[in-house]
Amino acid sequence: MLTKDHASWGHTASTGLGFTHEDIVDAHFAACALQYQAALDQVGIRSGWHVLDAGCGSGAFLPWLSDLVGPGGRVSAIDLAEENVELAAERMPSSHQRRAFAVRRGDVCELPYEDDSFDAVWCANTTQYLDDDELARALQEFRRVVRPGGVVAVKDLDASLITVCPGDPFLFTDFFRHAARTPGYARQLLRTRRLHTALREAGLVSVRQRTMLIEHHAPLGPAALGFYTQACASIARQATDKGFPGEWEPFLDPDGVANPLRRQNGYISEGNTVAVGMIPAVS
């Protein structure tokens, strides 16, 4: 799961994976909360279900999942980072049925649960850290722990839809394509819209997928400005270190007045893909 390039992306948690520290993850969630809620709502999670949040991070989705399953449902969560397990446990107040909630440390490629334990698995912003073989193993694990007729839903970032203006609208896309020439994080961020194929190859049926464009226009709100200026600065530093051509300097200072996202016509977009499949019913 840990590729050689991850440290260079910055914002690492204890796992060493880039862009996993709770500060940057929670900032991204705050910036895109409405779109993330819409992504979860389209999965079809029902009241009374037992749902696993696989790769829960600091637990931002957990209150929403608890609302969906209701008082008669259960929510479980798992994450690779020990600090995220602690943060996720703290995020679930008593009003969200703490007695029906359990979080533990573990790997999505080797889930510590019995077969058919869940009605659904929700996996958000996690497959980007898995290479192709690990993604296949994780999906097989999701299939194993979800009952026949249950649901597996995977949501992740599609980096091919990242556009920042003013300036070259292909600056970030070209860098991701360049970085994706070798195995690692960038290649996995550009793989997202093929998730539907991975779900079918894992044996899921009735697979559906939707990719949503998330856009932020000037003046960006505080949450969006805080996240995207930091994220773009990290990518700009990496591009500069690698000698990749382009006008990266304005992005290096998140607080600089010349930062394109702080300009009168500032704009940034990204893509979010949700792929949903069903575990085949027992014949």
Tell me the β-bridge partners of 212.
272
User: Does a structural domain hold residue 52?
Assistant: yes
User: Does a structural domain hold residue 130?
Assistant: yes
Residue 282's pLDDT is: 79
* Residue 150 belongs to domain spanning: 6-159+185-214+272-278
User: Does a structural domain hold residue 226?
Assistant: no
Amino acid identity for residue 205 in this structure? V
Question: How many domains does one find in the chain?
Answer: 1
Residue 249's pLDDT is: 97
Q: What is the pLDDT of residues 110-126, one digit of tens each?
A: 999 999 999 999 999 99
Structure pTM? 0.92
- Of 63, 68, 67, 51, residue with least CA distance to 91: 63
User: Does a structural domain hold residue 256?
Assistant: no
User: Does a structural domain hold residue 179?
Assistant: no
Q: How far apart are CA 85 and CA 117, in angstroms?
A: 20
Percent of residues, the chain, with pLDDT higher than 70: 89
Contact between 153 and 120 under an 8 Å Cβ cutoff? The reply is yes
Q: What is the pLDDT of residues 10-47, one digit of tens each?
A: 556 566 665 556 677 788 889 999 999 999 999 999 99
CATH number at residue 98: 3.40.50.150
User: Does a structural domain hold residue 234?
Assistant: no
Q: What is the pLDDT of residues 200-232, one digit of tens each?
A: 999 999 999 999 999 999 999 999 999 999 999
Mean pLDDT to the nearest integer, 148-168: 96
- Of 190, 168, 208, 204, residue with least CA distance to 271: 190
Query: CB under 8 Å to 133, separation ≥6 — which residues?
Result: none
Q: What is the pLDDT of residues 236-275, one digit of tens each?
A: 999 999 999 999 999 999 999 999 999 999 999 999 999 9
User: Does a structural domain hold residue 164?
Assistant: no
Average pLDDT of the chain to the nearest whole number = 91
Given a cut of 90, is residue 136 above it in pLDDT? yes
Alpha-carbon separation of residue 269 from 8, 58, 63 (angstroms) = 23, 24, 26
User: Does a structural domain hold residue 58?
Assistant: yes
